[in-house]
Amino acid sequence: MAFYRGGRGGRTDIPTVDWDEIFRRQPPNLRRPILLGVALLALWILFAITPRLYTDYRWFEEVGYTSVLTTEWGARIAIFFGAAAAFFIFTLANVAIARRLTPRVSDESTRWAQVAAFAGKSITFLLILGSLILAIIVGLIAQADWLMFLRYQNAAAFGTSDPIFNQEIAFYVFTLPVYRFLVSWVSGAIILAGIATGVTYLLGLGRVVWTNAVKAHLSFLGFLFLLVQAWNYQLDLYGLMYSPRGVVFGASYTEVNAQVPALNILTVLALVLAVLLLVNVFIRAFKAIGIAVALWILAAVLLNEVYPSMVQQFEVKPSEFTKEQPYIKHNITLTRQAFGLDGIQEAPYPSEDSPTTADIKNNSDTINNIRLSDYRPLLQTYNQIQSIRTYYDFSDVDIDRYTIDGKYRQVMLSARELSTQKLTEKAQTWVNLHLVYTHGYGIAASSVNEFTSDGLPNLLVKDIPPTGVLPITRPEIYFGSETSSYILVKTREQEFDYPKGDQNAFSTYAGTGGVSVGNIWDRTMFALRLADMNILLTDALIGDSRIVFNRQIQTRIRRIAPFLMLDHDPYIVVADGKLFWIQDAYTITDLYPYSEPYASGLTYIRNSVKITIDAYNGTTNFYVADPNEPILKSYRGIFPALWKPIEQMPESLQAHLRFPEDLFTVQASMYLTYHMQDPLVFYNKEDIWAIPNESNDGTPNVMEPYYVIMRLPGDTKEEFMLMQPFTPARRQNMVAWLTAKSDGTDYGKRLVYRFSKDKLVYGPEQIHARLNQDPVISSQLTLLSQRGSKVLWGNLLVIPIEKSTLYVQPMYLLAEQSQIPQMKKIVVATANNIVMEDSLQAGLARLFSGLGTPTTPTTTTPPTTGVPISTDVAVLAKEANDHYTKAQDALKTSDWTTYGNEMKALQQTLDRLLQATGQKQ
């Protein structure tokens, strides 16, 4: 260690490195570690990379989409070698120039000679090795964006342009990301090459020596870097389309009038500085360069930060709407385009208090398809009464429609899947998990509004093997939502098929799914891929054996088409005696200019693709639902063999296509604000809507959209559609409702029906509140809750009927000792009346004369409004409430005698109340 002594300022002890001493040491032998590294790399490629690539290819070959995989591989390889070669040549050229320009000194004194001696290799080898390692890293980074480059090559026009720069939307979605990548990549390459060049000069000269050659070389690299920065400033102009600064998302007054000029000035300054650096190659211009750099930094701070903030504060805020009005309009227009809101039709909806008896009769199909079953208690019920064995599981309930006995009916279905985790611990052997217990079996299905006398759903399909009104000839489920593990089929082991009394039925897979593992090479590759040597060691495999993996339906789809966003709810369908899964998929982007981002960050979405998967064979088909969608056009250009026209989908499956729930949710959420198209109304947020809450277990939750079969005003028949009510923000009355059709030629048609603003239309929360305020209903609920049962509420459905609305909500009871919710009561309400009966028909009969034995419905309107309440009912309700209050007081003081007497009196009063209201004979 040596010390440097300072000059005039006195002694300064700064430790310095004695490079000569270091390099005079015995050079290490690098051959052994290099050979070890090469050997480890070879082993990694052999045992990790090769099995994955091989098994991936075999799997894509099985599903019929090898062209998808080879397109990906080809793109990755081309981009990797292109980027790596460009970087390697550029870096090596600069280092070679630096070596050539380094003054020649004796080999004993040059750092390069010492480094070479220390490494035991030649200088040329070290230069090539260093550049090659950096090139490989750069190439690996670049190839990860292979899909971005292919989208750019296959870009399709959106047919609209941004309002500021008049650039086609395709430029922002397909081109701008590539330009951004190139700026980042080229800047990084120049910086890395500059560092390598600087190190070359430092090692060669032993210190920083600004010879003319060194100055010229580094100045040229600086010139290239500044050219790229000037380009980056121009790209930043387009980035203003995503600015969150103003009152809306996108370029606002400040961006257009302050940051656009600022970025243009910074572009000019970067170009001037680049020219000065280029001049510096030929003449000495350090002073001018220094001044230019200082101005550039100062301008970057003032023009990019200070000036825009001042414009926003002192010019925009005092007259914000006037300044921002055109940009608000741009945001409204492009957001509505991006989310498809501009295709929603609006119509007024009458606000009459109640449907008439004739309305109810004329809409019998709508009434008969009101969904009284709630999917949450129904799922619990299916698992209790239809799982049959503990290792079967129902994980989700789907809502669909089928024609049964000539009637168009809404049906709820769930797949009975095999859950190997529920096998006993002793049964979870490798053979059982991968060779024996391989598939689920059948479905459970029920009508949405039919129940047994015990309050359980009326099953349309049930048991194992499945029996019912939907014939199923191929009930096995090898591909589903819970099939996460791999299985081996067509082996010496018989597969468990289904339980059969005290015995089990066994079978052998006869489908086309899976990859052959009939030879030792395939078994070895899959054993390495899945890290399971049992595949190689088992004697159960034969020449016809196949391995089935990627069985979970969304995993399967994402492996084939990772660029599609999938709806959260794939649903099971019975068609032609077989089981299929239908999965909705979306093309999305977060690069649509001026479009307000949804919660997840996306700014554009379309349901462009419908995907079907055969639950037995795993056959996966991608159908083009929107052939004119630009992003899908790009993917169709990249992977032409992947897609089929929707017309090729079997009609039996087309009949079950439905408007997807996730897209509807996104559009409904955006429509809450973007139904306002007047900039002033939008700016003042005068008419913001909200999605109402509903209470299922006593806790308010945001109301979910729901599928219904109903007839819209002006239509001639009932259709299957998705629906969502809206309320004003921070209020509970209903202001509108949105619906999306799912049938026939009207598929995808969306309509918003607005209620009149001058009349109150009850929202879901208000109806539920009225339910609790009704003395008869609240008394019944109190009694039910105190008998050891828990009250569960189903979805509160708002059903438009002709010129009015009907409200329906089912009530379930869950006993403390039972896990099976039972449907016990149905609440039916109109604007004026509310009743709770044992069935929907009984409730309608009480509300509408002529549908059954007419009785006076209970009304919840206070007497002060002039609407009469039955005197007997009112007196009995008050008497029941008094007995309940006294019982509760006795309970608090542990006066059990009084408590028992009051509860007995309460029961007698409730019996009289039921008789008075016609609910008990």
More confident residue, 632 or 22: 632
Say if residue 2's pLDDT is above 70: no
More confident residue, 47 or 406: 406
Nearest in space to 408 (alpha carbons), one of 715, 724, 577, 655? 655
The residue-averaged pLDDT of 470-488 equals 94
- CA–chain centroid gap for 280, Å, is 54
Which pLDDT score is estimated for 461?
96
Return the amino acid letter for 850: G
Tokens representing residue 364 in the block = 């019998």
More confident residue, 910 or 596: 596
Is 594:335 a contact under the CB 8 Å cutoff?
A: yes
Which pLDDT score is estimated for 696?
72
The residue-averaged pLDDT of 286-306 equals 77
- CA–CA gap between residue 718 and residue 303 (Å, rounded): 61
The residue-averaged pLDDT of 708-719 equals 90
- Read off φ and ψ for residue 877, nearest 5 degrees: -65, -40
Is 703:353 a contact under the CB 8 Å cutoff?
A: no
Instruction: Please report, for residues 35, 122, 357, the alpha-carbon distance to residue 32 in angstroms, rounded to integers and kept in the order given.
Output: 5, 17, 94
Nearest in space to 783 (alpha carbons), one of 820, 819, 811? 811
Which pLDDT score is estimated for 170?
97
Positive/negative CA dihedral, 676, 682, 687, 691: positive
Gyration radius (Cα) of the chain, Å: 37
> Under the phi-then-psi rule, with left for phi > 0, alpha for psi from -120 to 50, and beta for the rest, what region is 918?
left
Q: Which residue has the tokens 């039910």?
A: 784
Which pLDDT score is estimated for 31?
60
Which pLDDT score is estimated for 117?
54
Is 502:471 a contact under the CB 8 Å cutoff?
A: no
| pLDDT tens digits along 250-270 | 999 999 999 999 999 999 989
CA angle (459, 461, 466) in 5-degree steps: 140
More confident residue, 33 or 106: 33
The residue-averaged pLDDT of 29-50 equals 70
Say if residue 490's pLDDT is above 70: yes
Nearest in space to 779 (alpha carbons), one of 701, 858, 700? 858
| pLDDT tens digits along 51-83 | 999 999 999 999 999 999 999 999 999 999 999
Decide: residue 536, CB within 10 A, 0-12 exposed, 13-18 middle, 19+ buried.
middle
- CA–CA gap between residue 529 and residue 288 (Å, rounded): 62
Which pLDDT score is estimated for 918?
57
Say if residue 602's pLDDT is above 60: yes
Helix, strand, coil distribution of the chain in percent, nearest 5? 50, 20, 30
| pLDDT tens digits along 418-443 | 999 999 989 999 999 999 999 999 99
Instruction: Please report, for residues 102, 585, 674, 711, 740, the alpha-carbon distance to residue 668 in angstroms, rounded to integers and kept in the order given.
Output: 68, 18, 10, 21, 10
Which pLDDT score is estimated for 790?
84
Say if residue 22's pLDDT is above 60: no
Q: How confident is the model at residue 275 (pLDDT cuts 50, 70, 90)?
A: confident
Which pLDDT score is estimated for 643?
97
The residue-averaged pLDDT of 610-637 equals 97
Nearest in space to 18 (alpha carbons), one of 30, 3, 7? 3
Say if residue 494's pLDDT is above 50: yes
Q: How confident is the model at residue 1 (pLDDT cuts 50, 70, 90)?
A: very low
- CA–CA gap between residue 919 and residue 909 (Å, rounded): 14
Which pLDDT score is estimated for 58?
95
Is 805:761 a contact under the CB 8 Å cutoff?
A: yes
Q: How confident is the model at residue 462 (pLDDT cuts 50, 70, 90)?
A: very high
pLDDT, the chain, mean:
86
More confident residue, 284 or 766: 766
Return the amino acid letter for 201: Y
Say if residue 23's pLDDT is above 70: no
- CA–CA gap between residue 508 and residue 492 (Å, rounded): 9
Tokens representing residue 448 in the block = 């949405």
Burial 383-415 (b: 16+ CB within 10 A, else e): beebbbeebbbbebbbbbbbeeeeebbbbbbbb
Of 343-347, 697-701, 792-796, the one with minimum mean pLDDT is 697-701
More confident residue, 189 or 880: 189
- CA–CA gap between residue 198 and residue 95 (Å, rounded): 9
Is 200:99 a contact under the CB 8 Å cutoff?
A: yes
Enter the DSSP assignment of 493: S
- CA–CA gap between residue 688 and residue 277 (Å, rounded): 56
- CA–CA gap between residue 612 and residue 832 (Å, rounded): 47
Enter the DSSP assignment of 834: E
The residue-averaged pLDDT of 702-710 equals 93
Which pairing describes strands 604-614 and 578-589: parallel, antiparallel, or unpaired? Answer: antiparallel
The residue-averaged pLDDT of 629-645 equals 97
Q: How confident is the model at residue 285 (pLDDT cuts 50, 70, 90)?
A: low
Q: For residue 545, give every residue at least 6 positions away whose Cβ sits within 8 Å of its Cβ, in sequence order, or none.
A: 488, 489, 490, 491, 516, 517, 518
| pLDDT tens digits along 372-397 | 999 999 999 999 999 989 899 999 99
Say if residue 205's pLDDT is above 60: no
The residue-averaged pLDDT of 126-153 equals 91
Strand partners, 737: 725, 753
Q: Which long-range contacts (CB under 8 A, 24 or more apart) does 522-530 make?
A: 522/58, 524/51, 525/50, 525/51, 525/54, 525/55, 525/58, 526/51, 526/55, 528/47, 528/48, 528/51, 529/51, 529/52, 529/54, 529/55, 530/486
Alpha helices in 805-870 (DSSP H): 840-847
Of 269-273, 303-307, 387-391, 447-451, the one with minimum mean pLDDT is 303-307
Say if residue 361's pLDDT is above 80: yes
Of 169-173, 544-548, 581-585, 906-910, the one with minimum mean pLDDT is 906-910
Say if residue 3's pLDDT is above 50: no
Strand partners, 606: 587
Of 1-5, 156-160, 366-370, the one with minimum mean pLDDT is 1-5
Say if residue 771's pLDDT is above 70: yes
Residue-level length of the chain: 921
| pLDDT tens digits along 830-858 | 988 999 998 999 999 989 877 654 443 33
Largest CA distance in the chain: 118
H and E: helices and strands count for the chain: 31, 35
Q: How confident is the model at residue 126 (pLDDT cuts 50, 70, 90)?
A: confident
| pLDDT tens digits along 859-898 | 333 333 333 333 356 667 767 777 777 766 665 565 656 6
> Under the phi-then-psi rule, with left for phi > 0, alpha for psi from -120 to 50, and beta for the rest, what region is 667?
alpha
Which pLDDT score is estimated for 352?
85
Which pLDDT score is estimated for 454?
85
Q: pTM of the entire structure?
A: 0.85
